[in-house]
Structure 1
Amino acid sequence: MERVPYRSIPDMLRHSAAKFRALNAVQFRKNGQWVILSYAQFYDRALMVSRGLRKLGVKPGDRVAILSENRAGWIIADMGILCAGGVTVPIYATGTPDQVAYALSNCRVRIVFVSGRGQYRKLLQVRDSLPDLELVVSFERFLGEAALPVTTFYQLSEVDDPILDLERSEIESVMDSISPETPATIIYTSGTTGTPKGAILTHGNLVFDVWATHEKVGGVGQGDLLLSFLPLSHVFERSAGYYLPLSRGATIAFADSMEKISENMIELHPTIMVCVPRFFEKIYSRIYEAVHQLSLFKRKMFRHALSVGRRYVYARYIDRYVPLWLSFQHAVADRLVFSKLRRRFGDRLKFCASGGAPLDREINEFFWIIGVPVFEGYGLTETSPVLCSNSFDALRFGSVGTPLASTEIAIAEDGEVLARGPQVMAGYFRDEAATREVLKDGWFKTGDIGHMEEGFLYITDRKKDLIVTSGGKNIAPQPIENLLKRDKYISQAYVYGDKKPYLTALLVPTVERLLEFAQEKKIAYHDLEDLVVHQPVFELYRSRVEAVNNELAPYQTIKKFALLPRDFTMESGELTPTLKVKRQVISERYRDRIDRLYEGSDS
């Protein structure tokens, strides 16, 4: 791989602003209309933020936080902070006041950008624990309180006053002083277990990962439109869904909301999307539910098309040879079936990237079959994040791909995945003990269990998540949970069994399917809490679990289960912002139900 051409993120932005000056950089909805900023305009907006921060006394190395949902202001603020030599501290918009206070106090933030009054109120609730906080900058206008001063993003940026040549020169001089070793951001881990830690990522970490990821996957350039909807607070969206497209002359369009992603895809016709597995799981489930409603003839045609499509994908991308007869069959299947399914995505998608959690192999294959390639990759907050990825040139289903250039992967004696490369963090902020625990001789201990086959990395599970039964069996719960979630009646699944004689599960029904079943069986109920305890419902789920058990080894099977009346959510603290299950939270919250599943056992 050729040398990374940028020293820092601001250096990368300056190059893009000069090279792609008139191209569309950012697109967002305001008052019902789409607003577009060119690369030149976006760069100027970032410099305006930087000018405002400098006037407030922000110096290189100072930490400035962003507590906001996704919006154009988020990335303009981030670039403004970085151009001033500051360190961006992204805070999840779904965080509780106490979680927000922990991160802000731990890194001694003086200034916080917020989306509006809702996030400002969180800060007010914990004002006494934030002695370093001096000012809030809001993307939306509202009146603050004397205890915590507020200014607007507009006032800080002084948008009506163009950047003067002298101001530009002064800011760019600061940008020139930023080295690859300079900290760019402190990202607090989502904390599936224990207290969140602030991972320090340098400019060198980030620009390498952006450059090497594109060299690996390719396909991003002028004319591409990336639909952004994952939290920018997470490094996956920030690196792959924000920095990378801006380094290549592509356009970032912000989705109206999580609920309107389907509408936005049809309206905007994106070419690239960065997603988490839950996104694909839901679409997969909806497609199969729609197929279930088709006539017998059309269902058979659909299954035949999938069979042809699977052979074609393996021939083209694994074996690298497609017989003429298979090409013809695939062309027919694509015209009759797959092209209609792709319309749900706007009919222009070149590929999607999936990360944050394991993607079920069958679901991944399905999207490749219908002509929506999904590159499953692997990485962590501490690795900026990408370590490995699949691509058109190197693809193995079930794996997370091969390492990026200049990136080494090793497997420890206990199966833990170790990584070494330019994207590995500098350490944890103000936590030398935790840093020493995970960084040894240049190797980063990922905490994941995996193995290598023909250069491809396969992840089994999180080291801390492995279930060791009382019989001594080591079991990874995530593959079993993915099998369960593939069922149209199951929205979420949590498998338990550590130090127990057998596995049990907590299942969250797919509400729409369950209500249809209740109507069909004429079950009388008051609410979901009442419905999930009805015997016909229990028998339905017992049969679904037994079907999954048939695909598992005897020691992996689910012996008992309980139905929950509501889904796991971020708001309840049961999911991380990337929709990974917080196992410790769930096991503690549903302790009574889990214990009842083991009553009468020898545990």
Structure 2
Amino acid sequence: MNLTRLFDLIPYQIKEFDKKIALSRKENGEWKSYSSRQFKETVDNLSLAFLDQGITPGDKVAIISENRPEWNFVDLALQQIGAVSVPMYPTITSDDYAYIFDHAEVKMIFAGDQVIYEKAIDVAGDLKIYTFDQLEGVEHWSELLEKGSKGDLARLERSKEQVKPEDLFTIIYTSGTTGRPKGVMLTHHNVLSNVLSVSHIMSPPPGTSKVLSFLPLCHIFERTASFCFMYLGFTVYYAENLETIGENLKEVQPHVFNTVPRLLEKVYDKIVAKGYELTGVKKQLFFWALNLGLKYDPREDKGPWYNFQLKLANKLIFSKWREALGGNIMQINSGASALQPRLARVFWAAGIKVCEGYGLTETSPVVSASLSNYEEIRIGWVGKLVKDVEVKIAEDGEILVKGPNVMQGYYKQPDMTAEVLKNGWFHTGDIGELDGDYLRITDRKKEMFKTSGGKYIAPQVMENKFKESTLIEQLMVVGDGKNYPAALIVPSFENLREYCKRKDIPFTSDEEMIAREEIINKYQTEIDYLNKYFGKWEQIKRFKLLAEPWGIDSGELTPTMKLKRKVIKEKYEKQIEQIYQS
């Protein structure tokens, strides 16, 4: 088959794999599944229903929902008639809902559940809303499905023929760390070219492999991956929610999943916390294995004695880690932010291949990706450039990208588009370096700052390093225009409780503990130890412990868990002033 548009992937999957289970989601304790053919029938009927509802090529339809098969059905049904999906994070504010509905000129809304519906209805005005969950007094998506089942398939085929590869298929509003979100315009060709570029670097075998999906489909990372999984004939199981991932991993026993580094950090911290609970020989064996893993480099042979020990560690300790992930994991794809190198080392040592990649919504998203083999993986790098994508490094170190995956521009924002698309190159705003086809990210251009002494500080690199401490949950480096860098630190209170327990320090409340001298001294010890990895001008001289974690709902993090630096600086202005006054 000639694949030119994303919805061509449905008949392609039927022809190549004809899956009994293409998509599945747990409902009321049972997995509800759809075959490839049911997938196609559902999408076709929805497309016909949209035509009957007066949705025309170029019309915008919002999808606001957690991951579920219905999300895919609506997405692909819109594509087949030339309409444009506008995926939105359920967690953004009602104000952002209102802005996107208006800015994108949305004609219809699909809301996943009661909470999302109530948030949307407040600002939707006269817009028609359908829900995926059955809610009293609200039109359900299945009503559309029923109407579409009586439609004319010949009419649909005529509509599909009119859709071209260069047609817009989605506008994704980037979460943004500052200001209003921007609508990234992507075509079928943009995303399909990326799907075909990355599909060959997936190690699980086509047609028989399983995926657990939990990253939001409204984010380009999981969205493009979902099309890649369709192309490869993988069965996709949607996790119930973030809290059930561990249980779902054991049930599904997937071969691959996508994640963000923050979730891997939490997995690692939980493993280490359990290690501290052990006693005697078991505890000694655990930390012996962990230390072996932290020294691991897949590209370096450390000799027969190390290799023998690692093999033993895999049998005694790391095998349990693999079991916790379902026992079948062949590849974990990590993206959206930087992965701590120590995590990559220890997971690869444990036979868990964590492959870091790099990309942006504007690049559909993959620019580079790590290959899941020991010969080509490079710890600390974001892999090799994928097929058909070019990269060059500007004089100031900025990463520039060219290729079929680069967006058409920002919707209704030609000035902003002109700022980032110059002479065919997309200016990413990231700083990095190339070694052949291998890419490394060193920081965000806009996030670097100067101290009053004129020294540049790259905060992301530092923050990633300091978060290696199991006692640090979140950290932001500050000090723009000051004479030294400092840090705001949110402790990992779960691990802090364990530490206090081991040291016989009575734990009262989070607020009281961060004010205690012995706790502050412990964090100073942690900072002093990690400071040695940086030049004198970069080292954290002072810090402030905070009792409240940063979150998406509270506004300090984007939906992809990036720091909203401006928001955090404004919120903790007094604490930052205190750091530099005392």
Name the TM-score, length of structure 1 as normaliser: 0.91
Identify the residue that residue 158 of structure 1 maps to in structure 2.
Answer: 146
After superposition, where does 1:99-178 map in structure 2 within 5 Å? 99-127=96-124, 134-143=127-136, 150-158=138-146, 162=149, 167-178=152-163
Pick one of 249, 259, 264 that aligns with 2:248.
Answer: 264
Letter of the 1:283 partner, please give it: V
Evaluate the alpha carbon distance shift between residue 312 and residue 278 of structure 1 in structure 2; reply closer, same or farther with a 3 A threshold.
closer
Q: Does 1:195 align with 2:180?
A: yes
Q: Among 396, 412, 434, which residue is 1:430 paired with? A: 412
For 1:145-187, what per-residue CA distance to the aligned partner results, in whole angstroms no more than 9, with x for missing partners?
xxxxx5210101118x7466xx233223322322110001000
What is the CA–CA distance in structure 1 between the aligned matches of 2:310 and 2:506, rounded to whole Å?
45
8 Å CA contact 1:365–1:397 kept in 2: the answer is yes
CA distance change for structure 1 residues 332 and 516 in 2, over 3 Å: closer, same or farther?
closer
Output the CA distance in 2 between the equivalents of 1:16 and 1:77: 18
C-alpha change, 1:322 and 1:175, in structure 2 (3 Å) is: farther
Query: 373-382 or 485-494, which moves further after superposition?
Result: 485-494
Once the two structures are superposed, the pairs formed by residues 239-388 of structure 1 within 5 Å of their partners are: 239-240=224-225, 242-295=226-279, 297-302=281-286, 304-305=288-289, 314=298, 318=299, 330-388=310-368
Q: Secondary structure at the match of 2:541?
A: strand
1:215 to 2:200 alignment: yes
Whole-angstrom distance in 2 between the partners of 1:115 and 1:276: 23
CA contact (8 A) 1:375 1:389 kept: yes
Deviation at 1:217, TM superposition (A): 3.9
* SS class of match (1:206): helix
**How big is the alpha-carbon RMSD for the aligned residues of Structure 1 and Structure 2?**
2.2
Cross-structure match for 2:31: 34
The AA in structure 1 aligned to 2:278 is: L
Mapping of 1:12-51 within 5 angstroms?
12-51=9-48
Partners of 2:71 and 2:218 in 1: CA distance: 9
Question: 2:518 matched to which residue of 1?
Answer: 536
Provide the residue aligned with 1:83 in structure 2. Answer: 80
SS at 2:153's partner residue?
helix
Q: Is the 8 A contact 2:249 2:324 kept in 1?
A: yes
Cα 1:175–1:487 change in 2 (3 A) is same
Please point out which of 368, 389, 392 is paired with 1:410.
392
Report the counterpart of residue 6 of structure 2 in structure 1: 9
Distance 1:562 1:322, change over 3 A: closer
Q: Cα gap change, 1:398/1:163 in structure 2, threshold over 3 Å: closer, same or farther?
A: farther
| 1:389-408, Cα deviation, whole Å (9 max, x unpaired) | 11026321101111111111
Per-residue deviation at 1:301?
3.6
- 1:476 matched to 2:469? The reply is no
Q: What is the percentage of aligned positions where both structures have the same residue?
A: 37
Per-residue CA deviations over 1:421-440 (Å, capped at 9, x if unaligned) read 11000111111111111001
Residue 555 of structure 1: SS of its match in structure 2? coil
CA distance in 2, matches of 1:576, 1:327: 41
Q: Confirm or deny: 8 A CA contact 2:19 2:233 kept in the other structure.
A: no
Q: What is the letter of the counterpart of residue 137 of structure 1? A: Y
What is the CA–CA distance in structure 2 between the aligned matches of 1:106 and 1:63, rounded to whole Å?
Answer: 10
Match of 2:543 in 1: 561
Contact 1:312 1:327 in 2 (8 A): no
Alignment of 1:419-458 (within 5 A): 419-458=401-440
Q: Distance in 2 between matches of 1:97 and 1:309?
A: 45
Alpha-carbon contact 2:203-2:330 (below 8 Å) kept = no
Q: Give the whole-Å Cα distance in 2 for the aligned partners of 1:22 and 1:412.
A: 46
> Structure 2: how far apart are the matches of 1:587 and 1:187?
27
Q: Distance in 2 between matches of 1:11 and 1:360?
A: 38
Secondary structure of the residue that 2:61 maps to in structure 1? strand
2:106 aligned counterpart, secondary structure: coil
SS at match of 1:410: strand
Matched, 1:549 2:546: no
Alpha-carbon distance between aligned partners in 1 of 2:313 and 2:459, rounded to the nearest angstrom: 36
Aligned AA (2:48) = R
Structure 2 distance, partners of 1:177, 1:460, is: 44
CA distance in 2, matches of 1:451, 1:263: 40
Letter of the 2:170 counterpart: T
CA–CA separation in structure 2 for the residues paired with 1:207 and 1:187: 16
Structure 1 residue 221: deviation in Å? 1.5
SS in 2 for 1:64: strand
SS of corresponding position for 1:460: strand
Equivalent residue in structure 1 for 2:168, among 183, 188, 194: 183
Q: Residues 364 and 407 of structure 2 are in contact (CA less than 8 Å); yes or no, is this contact kept in structure 1?
A: yes
User: Matched residues in 1 for 2:545 and 2:474: separation?
Assistant: 10
The one-letter amino acid paired with 2:551 is: T
How far the C-alpha of 1:295 sits from its partner, in A, is 4.0
Q: What SS does the aligned partner of 2:580 have?
A: coil
| Pairwise CA distance, 1:75 | 1.4
Q: Distance in 1 between matches of 2:545 and 2:295?
A: 38
* Secondary structure, aligned partner of 1:184: strand
Equivalent-residue separation in structure 1 for 2:234 and 2:519 (angstroms): 49
In the alignment, structure 1 segments of 5+ residues that lack a partner are 145-149
Conserved? CA contact 1:481–1:494, under 8 Å:
yes
Q: Distance in 1 between matches of 2:204 and 2:196?
A: 13
Secondary structure at 1:151's aligned position in 2? coil
Equivalent position SS for 1:24: coil
Relative to structure 1, the CA distance from residue 119 to residue 528 in structure 2 (aligned partners, 3 Å threshold; closer, same or farther) is same
Aligned counterparts of 1:124 and 1:216: Cα–Cα separation in 2: 43
Deviations 1:459-509 (A, max 9, x none): 011111112111111111112212222211111111111111111111111
Look up the SS of the partner of 1:259 in the other structure. Answer: helix
Moved more, 88-97 or 23-32: 23-32
What amino acid maps onto 1:426 in structure 2?
Answer: Q
Q: Which of 58, 61, 65 is matched with 1:61 structurally?
A: 58
Q: Is the 8 A contact 1:7 1:178 kept in 2?
A: no
- Which one is further off, 540-549 or 303-312? 303-312
Question: How far apart, CA to CA, are the structure 1 residues paired with 2:484 and 2:32?
Answer: 56
CA deviation after TM superposition for structure 1 residue 580, in Å: 1.1
Give a deviation string over 1:373-413, Cα, whole Å, max 9, x none. Answer: 01100000000000001102632110111111111110001
Residue 332 of structure 1: how far off its partner (Å): 3.2
